[in-house]
Structure 1
């Protein structure tokens, strides 16, 4: 009965459009009041201690670095460079947009931030080049999902903390899956553009233009190299790398690109703080929710249920993916990682799945939730930029949804893609 109260109140608040963090907290509080075995004081202490974690300090700093880079002229420089290489081919603008999203993903660690930073520049540019607005927006909205797969990734930090796995290993594991998804999206963009007659630019390749674009984008390209190289070179931890990323982003944007003035920094910091606080509140309330799940032995029950259906690892992966696809439609990615990692991780372990491989499968699956209604955060960001209605954008995204599913299937059945660099 306690479990029914917990999940019943949670979904009731969700149906009433109560924010996810508040829904989790209220569900935990009401359940604690209902059950004599759960102490409200214990839940309150768990709320504080769950956020008192050195690794979690990386989250606000990665968010701040992404905010600074997003407003510091990074997106336009990355696109100009990508467009030099692929712009003259069929669908070149769309392919360049995907490449730009992949590069920005290696800076921001966030899907919606990638859509906001790249979409504001790319969607109008693609429309001006003759692309249909629906297709242009769908490209950016979907490619923005790569923001949480190519490292650094905020959900990977949360998964690492929740499952006690190395965040550095998760970052390494996400590189090739993120690249694979980008390649699959580019292939679809090419064939769709060929069908619709979206030809490339008339400009021929020029080494002079390439060197000029490379020179303009060099400071942007160094960000993932410095951050990831520093982590894997043993120079600093992921948290320290996030701090360094903020310092580097501020220096480049103010003194080198000169596109951010000091007077804009309070607004940038405030925006990053709001995003960070919302995630940290989710972490705290989700921890209380998860504590009750553990006390009620829900993870063990889920594991037994899954294993009663089959002990075949492929079948278990399919069940987990199906569950996470549904969850991603309704629950924020950060909250989903914190709530369901303790539930599904034991199941994956019992069928012999590598923990890093499972983590990447989980995060890639939940990334699809960025483009599936009713939550679909990337859809709302893209809609705000393009002016398209959500139903119109959802229809445009459907082919990209299947491309993402194909990519996910490849990642799930070929663990070497994830584990090759470990």
Structure 2
């Protein structure tokens, strides 16, 4: 029997059910008879408004004529339930300049309205979150965009966000700069607004003429070998030490360290598999011989032994260690080691990259090891053969050989 795939998508900011199938005249006749069914020229499939009634009509129309694949639609509806169950935080009090955006009919808000989000803008916020989830954006990106839009909608008061023009948004961002917001915050808010206006509302090139502030070039903060030795020796807990070793040994982000599963450690090929890291990219990195010995020793002593993740929390078996806990481990080690630099867990990644660069490793390899999209100091989109990456030694091995680190 023929298969018809039902999938969710947005059309003019409204949720729809896409009806996708291989070209077939008999199925074309069936779908044309479904009430409210329309053809999408850009997507090349039929669609109806997303509702229970629409779904029932689809099931009735294709009954006995085709099998319905609702896997993607079901996943989306389950995600949507979670979004709808999430309460939007109460807006924070803030002073709003009524001239932030000059509108033909007056100012965008009154001081008395500055503490609320209008129902229309609240709906826009929920719609944007749903859209992000449908596009499978990461939880971190969704949180960031949601937070930036929450502030934006607060500041608009009762004025509908969808009625603003490019010039209005320009003036708003200019006011943000005048109020002292950092370049990074402006970039983050611009990204969120760009997504809302161009992706959710479908206004193509809405931000084409809106410039972005130049980012401050911030050099990475790095620890030297002696500082790293003190840092590692300041921690006696085997799990905590293994977490720090792994981050430095392979140049991993904190989220990547806590997301490593037991199955991701390949001792035969001496590789670590990093799954769905930043940008949803998979990659392989070197598994240092020293790190492998450390991990084996840690697992042997760990009670209870990890079941799924390499580093698991104290809750239910199989739950991963939290990134926040790993960051606290680093800060505790930094304080105990007497390191006064203002550095975070991420400096282990910076230190790894800097140290292997100093040892002569080609920057093109470093780009792929770290999983970067690009490195400004080398050619853009430069790729290297993946199999060469596993032969690059870890800087942890060099420090270990000097015999200064305790285990």
**Structure with the greater relative contact order (CA < 8 A, sep ≥ 6): 1 or 2?**
1
Q: With structure 2 as the length reference, what TM-score do the two structures score?
A: 0.21
Q: With structure 1 as the length reference, what TM-score do the two structures score?
A: 0.20
Q: If each structure's strand is expressed as a fraction of its own residues, which one has the higher value?
A: 2
Radius of gyration: which is bigger?
A: 2
Q: If each structure's helix is expressed as a fraction of its own residues, which one has the higher value?
A: 1
